[in-house]
Amino acid sequence: MKLAGLKSIENAHDESVWAATWVAATDSRPALLLTGSLDETVKLWRADELDLQRTNTGHCLGVVSVSAHPSGVIAASASLDSFVRVFDVDTNASIATLEAPPSEVWQMQFDPKGTTLAVAGGGSASVKLWDTATWKLIASLSIPRPEGSKPSDKSNSKKFVLSVAWSPDGRRLACGSMDGTISVFDVARAKFLHHLEGHSMPVRSLVYSPIDARVLFSASDDTHVHMYDAEGKSQVGAMSGHTSWVLSVDASPDGAAIATGSSDRTVRLWDLSMRAAVQTMSNHTDQVWGVSFRPMGGNGNRGGRLVSISDDKSISLYGYS
Amino acid sequence: MNKTEEEKELLLRQLKESLDANPDDPSLHFDLGVCLWERAESKETAAEHFVKAVKLNPQNAAAFRYLGHYYSGVSVDTQRALKCYQRAISLIPDDSDSGDALCDLLEQGGKESLEVAVCREAADKSPKAFWAFSRIGFLQLHQCKWSEAVQSLQHAIRGYHNSPQLWEALGLAYQRLGMFTAAIKSYGRAIELDDTSIYALIESGNIFLMLGSFRKGIEQFQLALKISPQNVSALSGLASAQLGLSKECINLGAFRWGASLLEDAHEVAKANTCLYGNMSCVWKLHGDIQLTYAKCFPWMEENHSLEFDVDTFNTSILSWKRTCLMAAVSAKSSYQKALHLAPWQANIYIDIAITSDLISSLNESYEHHLGVWKLSEKMALGALLLEGDNYDYWVALGCFSDHNALKQHALIRGLQLDVSLAVAWAYLGKLYRQEDEKKIARQAFDSARSIDPSLALPWAGMSADTHARDPSLDEAFESCLRAAQILPLAEFQIGLAMLSQHSGHLSSSQVFGAIQQAIQRAPYYPESHNMYGLVCEARFDYQAAVASYRLARYAIKSSADTIPKSLFQDVSINLARSLSRAGNALEAVRECEDLKKEGMLNAEGLQLYAFSLWQLGRHDLALSVAKNLAASFSTMESSSAAASVSFICRLLYNISGLDSAINSILKMPKALFQSSKMSFIVSAFHALDKSNRLESVVSSSRSTLASPEDITGMHYLVALGKLVKNGSESYLGFDSGIFHLRKILHIYPNSNLIRNLLGYLLLSSDKLKYTHIASRSCRIETSNVTRKEGLKSAWEILGAGGVACNVIGSIDMKFSFPTCGYECLNGPKSVQELQKCLRREPWNHNVRYLLILNLLQKAREERFPKHLCTILERLITVAISSESYSKQHMSYQYQKFQLLLCASEISLQVGNIIGCIKHAENASALLLPDGYLFFGHLMLCRAYAAEGNTRKLQEEYVRCLELKAEYHIGWICLKIMESQYEVLADSNILESNFMEFSKEQKNSMDYWVAIFSLVMGLFSIRNKDLLSAEKCLAQACSLAGSESCLLLCHGTICMEIARQYHDSQFLSLAVRSLTKAQETYLVHLPIVSILLAQAEGSLRSKEKWEKNLRHEWFTWPPEMRPAELFFQMHLLAMQSKVGLDYSSRVESCQSPQKWVLRAIHTNPSCLRYWKGLHKLVELA
């Protein structure tokens, strides 16, 4: 397995690029790349040429997260001022604007069926679930306070929720917090199940293995990538090698590899069978905020693709094989 | 221990041998062990020997140490090593090698408590176990026991005072204890010992930052960066030190300086973000720097040479705004990066809120709402969600919110959390003020101010609130000044300028500085330029004022819709006024015409228009404008109506003369003149009007005068009026003016205005006695010498008074016997005062001129001593080279003329006749009236006479006669020249000229004729014609009977005649004159009495002879008494000896013989004295 650099766009945005995701292919078009940046815009790119399709404006502050509906028709972008804009990918028509209290929108993700949007709730120490049909808030999954702590206790801000991930079967939801813990919820019952421990610093990215709903990968500022048995409440592996914070992690669609982006300005590809980095890409000149594999399916997909985005304002596309 | 290998070998062999001989000697075993230990290959054997040594002598600590080294290093057996070391230490606690090794071993084993115990034990055992103290110190530091650590470390440092680590550790302990100065000293010592100690450099830099000495901090961080250029702490420290320094500058109002510092800081912070991009605080620092830059970057008039027009002004403003905006945007993205990295940090939300608030204020089109909340409000809420109990965040929310209810709620919430939150009180006050709740607002400001007087906002609020409780304008100004000084905010500064306009502080330098700063930060705001213009105008810098009014108009034009028309009108009128004051009447007229087209010409504008037209000489148009102005009286407020009326009156006077002005005044309603200003104008007209048509208007308007300044000013005017009214065609009525002023001076004895005018009038008056007392009327006050009151200042009068009298008043009587009867002993005083003035104002040519004249007077009186002549020569050279004498104005030319004559006089006195002639010729060549030039030629006469050039003398004499003097003294001097040098002339011409001239000057005619007669008499004496001389002098005495000199002369002549002709009639005449002379004068002239004594003696009146002789004795200053006086005293002494005992009398203090001896001593060449002595000796 290896990555091959295909194309790189310098100054894809005017400022740091902070978020990237793939929009699934639809009948009319292939999969597209969606990026969000500090320059308050969201851009839509066509692979593999990385042609700019459109620039969406409308956010007042930097875009911290973008997420695409599994159908590939709609997508959502969230900015630092805690607005989530849901829009039609092809027309850029606004579908909904979800407003949350400030500091309470971070990473977000559509569930695999596309009925719910999960939003990492930052300072509220919870994950908010929005119904994608009515765009109403349907549930708020709160991390329970440590025993004996009062509501006014400031320690709650330690549970600042940064990241969120759906299990591929859609039954479980995991969220990562600033204190390094990962919380797992049962979505159907809207119930907190347990914590996954092991990280000592903020967990900025989470992803479930696409082939195994129990396996969860987490990326943390403590420079490690962990592999958990999310049901069994245990850490099953740790991968080290980055020299600075690991900012993002994504699993390849075949489930054989994960890619990570880090503050040490590199992108690494990890072979899960060896639990070791097999390739390190150093083409970015600043920290890498996001990595994302193109999902399987759709027509015209000739092979695996990985994209990485960085503070150096550039987007890089790699072939994965 | 530089032993060679061979020596070592030898030693080893010897030791082995002696050990063989003495196998039980522990010291030999030890020595051998040491020898072997030094060789790497024989450590095992060495250890064996050590073991034997300790077995034989268990007290050998060194051996245990070596064993410890062996077990820890060679055969790794930690337990044994520990035991050996412990043994070594328990034997010698000071052993630092063992101690350190033991502790290292314990630390490796993670046995920290054991380590502490070992160290403590050693420390307890020996105060010299410094290794133990230092270990304990470090451990305590590690456990955050700062104060204990300080003690241990201090103890350790006694042993290892050159250890930079210990000093560093001590510094850290002090720092944590808050003892910053001690910490800085400790770190400083560490840096001294090891200048690569980056930790100490950075920490001391941080302490400097905390203490606010940013410069020192910058130094430390720069040193640290030299050692490690990529150290994140050093880079951050440097950037934040520069930020701190620049904030200091900005708070002083030095925006440009602050901005340049921030540019440096930006570079440093930028480098730091490149190196450490995932540290939130690094980005926050960068954001702080950029935000401060956006807030302080000053607008500059880039090219001063380039004149602005609307477009260049607009582009300049736009580019300035863009720079600020760019910085703010960059700050915002830096903060966002910081937040993205650490979203749980509440303060960054506030930073973003502040930045976006600034951006939206800089860029109106920026704000695009997605929801009901403003971005800044929302971000402030974000911070509060994370830290709801932080009162600062509540205040921030209160500031950003647009909804007054929410504002109030947020601020009150802040106050609930901390009741002594001055900022919250201040903003609450501001909020209430906006809602017109003046009273509560004031209370809020009051409490804010009492909690924190160094907060600017409440001061500004207090000053803005002038109407609520009516503090005086001055108070408001003071408050606002304080606000602007604490925080140089453009709003405060403009407010300050506006307040100063009303309170009369417009020209103060605080306001000037403030408004200059305001322009740098609010260049788009027309009022700032307008106020700057007003300030410049108040400081008489009209060009700058014109320029800034123009800028103000550009600013209005570029934001036309929001600004009221009236401001445009105000600015334009200001511009026209400044133009006209700057002397650019043409432009001023153009401005007025523009305004007129717009229909915005108000009363002030009309005045300016008329005035500028008048300046341009377009009198008719000016009058018609004035008529327009007059037509609008009825609609004006009383104050502006008064201004207009006074303007019209003056304009009429200047254009159509006094009568027309008076007629129009008579036509106007009297009510218009009920103000002090008007009263002055009317009074001035009244003063000039001989027919007193304005009597009633004047008397009614004068009733409005109230303040002492106004009243004395009016009296001043009245006095001047009396001069004009009571004078003749060519002559002012000084007497009545002086009389009036004297009366007033009794009422207002402190008015310098009146005093100076009185002095001036006294000097200008032709009555001789007045000139002597002129200088007494003025006061020289050092406190306000710079202010000129009235026509002449006090020192000018004093200086002129000094030369007005021939007596400079040397206290020293050896030069002359002053005969001036007015006791004007101000000569030395005036010379000193003038010197003081000259020192204060070395550029003042008037002072120098008067000083030269006074010094010349003094030199003349002292018979031109060498040093004075030198001083005068130099002073005159300096004075004449002054630029002001190149001006063509009469007064300057006259001064130059006088200076040249002085120079000429000095040259003559020092015997430099060529120089004298040169100066005098220069003087005579000046363009001056004949009456002045006369003296130039008179000087030439004297010079040629001294040279002996009769032909030239004759020429100059004739020239003098042609020119005719305007002063008596000129004629008299000429007469002297004529008589002394026997110039060929018809003497009658001169005399008749003199008499003719004297008749014109009635006041002083007698006096001068008397002097003329004196001169005639003196020449008659020269010609041995005593009888005609007596006649002349008798005439002189009859004309000026009070002049003792004349009387003395007359008396002397009479006595001489009596002696020659044996005529007792003349003797009695002499007695009469001399008696008069003795009586009239205050300071008694010498010789008068002795002559009188002689005369009385001749008339056989022995008693009077004695009395007068005795009197004579006291008229002489002791060191100047002549020999004859002593001789005469001897006669007196003889008399008293013969007669009764008058021991109390002067003559009897010495014997007659002694008197004669003194006479001989004084003048040994007189035979009479010798004879007298001879007689006395014979008698004895």
Across the range B639-650, mean pLDDT stands at: 78
What is the C-alpha to C-alpha distance for residues B677 and B686, in angstroms, rounded to an integer? Answer: 14
Smallest Cβ–Cβ distance between B278 and the set A59, A81, A263 belongs to: A263
Task: Give the pLDDT band (50/70/90) at residue B1081.
Answer: low
Which has the closest alpha carbon to B1167: B1156, B1178, B1155? B1156
Q: What is the pLDDT of residues B491-529, one digit of tens each?
A: 888 888 888 888 888 888 888 888 888 888 888 888 888
**Residue B329 sits at the chain A interface (C-beta within 8 Å):** no
B555 and B593 assigned to the same domain: no
What is the C-alpha to C-alpha distance for residues B829 and B849, in angstroms, rounded to an integer? Answer: 16
What is the C-alpha to C-alpha distance for residues A275 and A281, in angstroms, rounded to an integer? Answer: 17
B32 and B119 assigned to the same domain: yes
B60 and B101 assigned to the same domain: yes
pLDDT of residue A315: 93
Is 90 exceeded by the pLDDT of residue B246?
A: yes
What is the C-alpha to C-alpha distance for residues A96 and A76, in angstroms, rounded to an integer? Answer: 9
B39 and B118 assigned to the same domain: yes
Which has the closest alpha carbon to B812: B799, B825, B798? B825
B-chain CB neighbours of A102 within 8 Å are 349, 378-379, 381-383, 385
**Residue B370 sits at the chain A interface (C-beta within 8 Å):** yes
Q: What is the pLDDT of residues A46-102, one digit of tens each?
A: 877 889 989 998 888 899 999 999 998 999 999 988 889 999 998 989 999 988 888
Sheet holding A32-37, edge to edge: A17-23, A32-37, A42-46, A51-56
Domain termination site, one of B563, B583, B615? B563
Q: Is residue B1174 part of a domain?
A: yes
Q: Do A60 and B368 lie within an 8 Å CB cutoff? A: yes
B484 and B545 assigned to the same domain: yes
Task: Give the pLDDT band (50/70/90) at residue B305.
Answer: very low
pLDDT of residue A278: 92
B1127 and B1089 assigned to the same domain: no
DSSP state of A122: B
Number of residues written out for chain A: 321
CB A107 within 8 A of CB A205: yes
Asked which of A41-45, B42-46, B617-621, B626-630 is least confident by mean pLDDT, the reply is B42-46
Asked which of B242-256, B411-425, B776-790 is least confident by mean pLDDT, the reply is B776-790
3-state secondary structure of B806: coil
Across the range B952-966, mean pLDDT stands at: 86
Max mean pLDDT among B545-554, B796-805, B878-887 falls in B545-554
Give the amino acid at B522.
A
Q: CA geometry: angle at A151 spanning A148 and A155, to 5°?
A: 75
Q: What is the pLDDT of residues B706-745, one digit of tens each?
A: 788 888 888 888 888 888 877 776 677 788 888 888 888 8
Which value, to the nearest 10 degrees, does the dihedral of the CA atoms of residues B490, B493, B499, B504 take?
Answer: -140
Give the amino acid at B8.
K
Task: Give the pLDDT band (50/70/90) at residue A228.
Answer: very high
3-state secondary structure of A310: strand
pLDDT of residue B814: 60
N-term to C-term CA, chain A: 5
CATH label of the domain that carries residue B589: 1.25.40
pLDDT of residue B787: 56
pLDDT of residue B440: 86
pLDDT of residue B1: 46
B440-468 per-residue burial string, b: 16 or more CB within 10 A, e: under 16? ebbebbebbbebbeebbbbbbbbbbbbee
Q: A187's torsion region: left (phi>0), alpha (psi -120 to 50) or beta?
A: alpha
Chain centroid to CA A124: 19
Which value, to the nearest 10 degrees, does the dihedral of the CA atoms of residues B263, B269, B273, B275 take?
Answer: 110
Max mean pLDDT among A240-244, B860-864, B1106-1110 falls in A240-244
Q: Do A102 and B343 lie within an 8 Å CB cutoff? A: no
Q: Is residue B937 part of a domain?
A: no
Element (H, E) at B434: helix B422-434
Task: Determine what percent of chain B is predicted with pLDDT higher than 90.
Answer: 11
Q: Is residue B70 part of a domain?
A: yes
CATH of A3-144+156-320, one of 3.30.2350.10, 3.40.50.970, 2.40.30.130, 2.130.10.10: 2.130.10.10
Chain centroid to CA B1016: 59
pLDDT of residue A115: 92
The strand ranges marked E within B454-593 are none
Q: How many domains does chain B have?
A: 6
Q: Which token pair is B567? A: 């401001």
What is the C-alpha to C-alpha distance for residues B1012 and B970, in angstroms, rounded to an integer? Answer: 11
Task: Give the pLDDT band (50/70/90) at residue A293.
Answer: very high
Nearest-CA distance A182 → chain B (Å): 17
CB A29 within 8 A of CB A49: no
What is the C-alpha to C-alpha distance for residues B299 and B837, in angstroms, rounded to an integer? Answer: 44
Across the range A292-310, mean pLDDT stands at: 79
B506-520 per-residue burial string, b: 16 or more CB within 10 A, e: under 16? bebeebbbbbebbbb
Give the amino acid at A178.
M
B66 and B89 assigned to the same domain: yes
What is the C-alpha to C-alpha distance for residues B295 and B298, in angstroms, rounded to an integer? Answer: 9
Smallest Cβ–Cβ distance between A263 and the set B277, B339, B356 belongs to: B277
CB B991 within 8 A of CB B972: no
Sheet holding A276-281, edge to edge: A246-251, A257-262, A267-271, A276-281
pLDDT of residue B582: 85
CB B323 within 8 A of CB B299: no
What is the C-alpha to C-alpha distance for residues B832 and B42, in angstroms, rounded to an integer? Answer: 101
B31 and B108 assigned to the same domain: yes
**Residue B379 sits at the chain A interface (C-beta within 8 Å):** yes
DSSP state of A301: -
Domain boundaries, chain A: 3-144+156-320
Residue whose entry in the numeric block shows the structure tokens 């300049």: B316
Nearest-CA distance B294 → chain A (Å): 19
Q: Is residue B140 part of a domain?
A: yes
Which has the closest alpha carbon to B1109: B1136, B1082, B1132? B1132
What is the C-alpha to C-alpha distance for residues B1172 and B1160, in angstroms, rounded to an integer? Answer: 10
Which has the closest alpha carbon to A132: A99, A102, A98, A89? A98
SS3 assignment for B333-394: HHHHHHHHHCCCCHHHHHHHHHHHHHHHHHCCCCCCCCCCCCHHHHHHHHHHHHCCCCHHHH
Count the neighbouring beta carbons within 10 Å of the beta carbon of residue B954.
16
Nearest-CA distance A306 → chain B (Å): 23
Q: Which residues pair with A87 in a beta bridge?
A: A75, A94
Average pLDDT across chain B, whole number: 82
Report CA-CA distances (Å) from B90 to B34, B73, B858, B973: 21, 21, 100, 119
Q: Which residue has the higher pLDDT, B52 or A67?
A: A67
Query: On the CB side of B303, how many CA atoms lie within 13 Å of its CA?
Result: 8
Q: What is the pLDDT of residues B424-477, one digit of tens each?
A: 998 988 888 888 888 888 888 888 888 888 888 888 887 876 654 556 778 888
B534 and B581 assigned to the same domain: no
Q: Which residues pair with A83 in a beta bridge?
A: A99
Q: Is residue B609 part of a domain?
A: yes
Size of interface A-B (CB pairs under 8 A): 91
Nearest-CA distance A60 → chain B (Å): 7
B-chain CB neighbours of A160 within 8 Å are 343-344
Domain termination site, one of B202, B229, B256? B229
**Residue B385 sits at the chain A interface (C-beta within 8 Å):** yes
> Packing angle between helix B391-400 and helix B404-417, nearest 10 degrees?
170
What is the C-alpha to C-alpha distance for residues B99 and A313, in angstroms, rounded to an integer? Answer: 57
N-term to C-term CA, chain B: 115
Contacts of B929 (CB under 8 A, 6+ apart): B966
Is 70 exceeded by the pLDDT of residue B306?
A: no
Task: Give the pLDDT band (50/70/90) at residue A268.
Answer: very high
**Residue A101: closest C-alpha in chain B:** B382
What's the farthest any 2 CA atoms get from each other in chain A? 56
Say if residue B875 is exposed, middle or buried (CB neighbours under 10 Å; 0-12, 13-18, 19+): buried
**Residue B381 sits at the chain A interface (C-beta within 8 Å):** yes
Nearest-CA distance B370 → chain A (Å): 8
What is the C-alpha to C-alpha distance for residues B353 and B327, in angstroms, rounded to an integer? Answer: 15
Which of residues 68 through 127 in chain A touch B, CB cutoff 8 A? 80-83, 85, 97, 99, 101-104, 106, 122-124
Q: B601's torsion region: left (phi>0), alpha (psi -120 to 50) or beta?
A: beta
Smallest Cβ–Cβ distance between B349 and the set A15, A103, A154 belongs to: A103
DSSP state of A24: P
Domain termination site, one of B100, B126, B152? B126
Q: Is residue B1002 part of a domain?
A: no
Nearest-CA distance B324 → chain A (Å): 18
B56 and B89 assigned to the same domain: yes
Q: Is residue B1074 part of a domain?
A: yes
Q: Is residue B828 part of a domain?
A: no
B1171 and B1101 assigned to the same domain: no
**Residue A149 sits at the chain B interface (C-beta within 8 Å):** no
Is 60 exceeded by the pLDDT of residue B1161?
A: yes
CATH label of the domain that carries residue B478: 1.25.40.10
Domain that holds residue B209: 135-229
B47 and B36 assigned to the same domain: yes
DSSP state of B1144: T
Max mean pLDDT among B101-105, B542-546, B780-784, B1119-1123 falls in B542-546
Average pLDDT across chain A, whole number: 88
Report CA-CA distances (Å) from A240 to A218, A272, B235, B1153: 12, 13, 30, 133
CB A32 within 8 A of CB A44: yes
Q: What is the pLDDT of residues B896-931, one digit of tens each?
A: 999 999 999 999 999 899 999 999 999 999 888 888
Is 60 exceeded by the pLDDT of residue B537?
A: yes
